[in-house]
Chains A and B, each alone.
Chain A
Amino acid sequence: MQVSVECASSDQLRAWARNVSEMSCRVGTQATTVQGLGGKVSGKACATTWSSPSATRMKGAFGQVESGVDGAAGQLQALAGELRRLAAELSEAAIVAQAREQEAERRADQAEREARREAKQGRP
């Protein structure tokens, strides 16, 4: 997931990092919930010794469902991980941006001071 942060302020980046982190938590919680769902009933179904043809078909369906649910959970976990990584990057970018902004602010202040000094020296 690529995000352009060049034009973003540190405040904006921190807000994004906070929101993305919150989103990763939401998605991670859902992923954990989903992960538990897949095995819960499939395990129960497969633990039975029912082996009629219809039960065999049903067990096959359970297996497919479990795979699908596991796939969804894995997809969500990956997304949550990606969001966490993005949130961390945004936090770092916010720090860098803040430093850049402070540096820019310091330079601006310095330029302002120099301008004032020059103005004062040049006064007759």
Chain B
Amino acid sequence: MSAGAPGRMVFDPAEMLGLAGALGNAAGDLQEAATKLRSAVGGAGDLPPGVLAAVRAETASASRLLAAAADTYEAGSREVRRQAERARAAGEEAGSWVPLSAGTGGKILKHGSAIVLEVDKYLNGGRVQQGAKSVMAAKLFADLSGNKALQTVLKFDDWRAAYRDARVRPGDTALTRLRKTYQRRLRDGIATNLNSIRIGHQPDTGRSVPGLSQGSDGLRPANRGLKRLSGTLAGAAPFAGFAADGLMLAADVKAVRDRATPRNILAVTAAGCMSPPTPCRRPPSGHQAVLTAPAAVLVDGAATVGDIGVLAIDSAPVLARAAQGPVINLGQKALGGLGSVLPKFP
């Protein structure tokens, strides 16, 4: 996946339409110049023998060049206008298109920044913060939700710059505190489920884990965000800069979303928490450090690990009656690093 490649930019449909208009005007100017040029020699008075023919030949040649240029500009105008209309229509269909100029004073955003804004908008209930706050919010969302697809959107340097701009140091910051808070809540939720299993109640399969499902502190369920993000990205694909990468990313996010159903949302978030925090690691030999394998593979891996965890928890009440110990052990094993803090069962 090449998302976040240097120099990838996107256009605001309004700006694209503006450019299309400018191209159309230029095409008109060129066509008019070509016409004027042809008529420039039409009203010539008496000229020396051969001069009129020579001037006509020269101006006709230049006129042809201008007409060809006008055609090219006209075609460019049509193409830009078509893309702008597609982008606008896709945005309207999706309910909201990536606010390419929102919060940036109309500047064109980097590919990743547009996605960051979209995530930020989701996290803030439609309001868009600016600059480092947006990046931080999106970064936290990616880290805390284990959204590998989102993590791959931005380059290592983007994240590092965002951390630097936000004056956040990896390992000793609000990020760490939030991650720990989230992990603690996750553990508490899992512990609650497992305790429910232990005492023989119907277990909670993750749909309403306390502190996770309807968090008022910005840690909302990943599913809704992923669904919206996926739709937005798919809708934004016609954008020039999203043409290829955006579709791939949308597919990746959709893959996460499909797995992050209410049934296994806990598993996905758990898998995310198990993944080591990589974005601030210095890349070897200058390569992108966030992920070295294709995002889809990692997304599949995270979801698979999560599925195992959900399977273990969902199956626990049934299997626990027959073989409680092994099932719980499977669940603990599937949840990896969290297993050490889970309650021990006899």
Residues of A within 8 A of B (CB): 1-5, 8, 12, 15-16, 18-20, 22-23, 26-27, 30, 33-34, 37-38, 40-41, 44-45, 48-55, 58, 61-62, 64-65, 68-69, 71-73, 75-76, 79, 83, 86, 90
Contact = CB atoms under 8 A, between A and B. Distances in A.
Contact of A54 (B9, B68, B240): B240
Contact of B241 (A12, A22, A50, A83): A50
Given A30-B40, A72-B62, A41 B47 contact: no
22 contacts: A1-B50, A8-B48, A19-B47, A30-B36, A30-B40, A30-B59, A34-B30, A34-B37, A41-B23, A45-B19, A50-B108, A50-B241, A51-B9, A52-B8, A52-B240, A53-B243, A61-B72, A62-B76, A68-B68, A72-B65, A75-B61, A83-B51
Interface string B1-29: 00000011111000100010011011001
A54 to B, nearest CB: 6
A68 B63 CA distance: 11
Contacts of A23: 40-41, 44, 47, 51, 55
B23 A15 contact: no
Contacts of A4: 48-49
Q: Is chain A's binding surface mostly helix, strand, loop or mixed? A: helix
Contact of A37 (B33, B45, B59): B33
Contacts of A33: 33, 36
Contacts of A86: 48, 51
Contact of B49 (A3, A27, A30): A3
Interface in B41-78: 41, 44-51, 54-55, 58-59, 61-63, 65-66, 68-69, 72-73, 76
Given A27-B55, A52-B243, A58-B80, A65 B22 contact: no
B20 to A, nearest CB: 11
B92 interface: no
A65 B73 contact: yes
B29 A16 contact: no
Given A34-B33, A90-B48, A27 B59 contact: yes
Given A3-B48, A34-B66, A51 B76 contact: no
Nearest to B76: A58
B83 interface: yes
B48 A20 contact: yes
A90 B51 CA distance: 12
B93 interface: no
Contacts of B59: 27, 30, 76, 79
Given A34-B62, A41-B25, A76-B62, 9 more contacts: A15-B46, A20-B51, A34-B66, A52-B10, A58-B76, A62-B76, A65-B69, A71-B65, A75-B62
Contacts of A18: 45
Nearest to B58: A79
A3 B51 CA distance: 8
Nearest to A77: B62
Contact of A41 (B26, B41, B83, B243): B26
Given A64-B72, A79-B59, A1 B8 contact: no
A37 B30 contact: yes
B31 to A, nearest CB: 10
A76 B34 CA distance: 12
B14 to A, nearest CB: 13
B54 A1 contact: yes
